[in-house]
Amino acid sequence: MSLIREAIRQDAKQLAALQEQTFRDTFEALNTPADMAQHCATHYSTAMQEQEILNPDMITLVCAEQENLIGFTQLRFKNSPVEGNAKCAAEIQRLYVEKNWHGKGVAQQLMQAAISSVRMLGADQIWLGVWEKNPRAISFYKKFAFIEIGEHVFVLGSDAQRDIILRKNLEGSSEQG
């Protein structure tokens, strides 16, 4: 059984490598090598992951199988583009699982841990952006009762892409899953 825990500073190097690999596995075939290289260099350094792990406005959860990180999710509590009646909205900034672990329940465990974590911190809504060309992820989020509420632009390298914004109400809503 895989262990989900909060990331610690010592996870930063392995987390950075996992983030880059899972991002490339998911999106490389549909993007240019230059855009992928620029994005990965900008977002997945060990130093950046250490900053994110230590950021008090973020929670990074990792899924470990023995000493190896096989999945992660990063949650943040500021800069929500979601308009509405949320008292406290949290974002799933990233949720990825190493491809050899797809279909083994790791993503579901990470999603449940993410929802539990933000609920404990008082969030009443959780939202995320997902690329319109990622049907597997869209289907996954809809199974957790996320609904489409809008869109925004995600810039990958030099390419402005359309992300769908999905939201899930966590308390007292018909959208609750």
Domain chopping of the chain, boundaries: 3-169
- pTM of the shown model: 0.89
Under the banding of pLDDT at 50, 70 and 90, the label for residue 83 is low
Q: What is the 3-state secondary structure (H, E, C) of the chain?
A: CCEEEECCHHHHHHHHHHHHHHHHHHHHHHCCHHHHHHHHHHHCCHHHHHHHHHCCCEEEEEEEECCEEEEEEEEECCCCCCCCCCCCEEEEEEEEECHHHCCCCHHHHHHHHHHHHHHHCCCCEEEEEEECCCHHHHHHHHHCCCEEEEEEEEEECCEEEEEEEEEEECCCCCCCC
Percent pLDDT > 90 in the chain is 80
The pLDDT score that the predictor gives to residue 91 is 93
Give me the mean pLDDT over the 17-30 stretch: 94
The pLDDT score that the predictor gives to residue 98 is 96
Per CATH, is 3-169 categorized as 3.40.50.2000? no
The pLDDT score that the predictor gives to residue 87 is 77
Give me the mean pLDDT over the 140-148 stretch: 95
Give me the mean pLDDT over the 27-50 stretch: 93
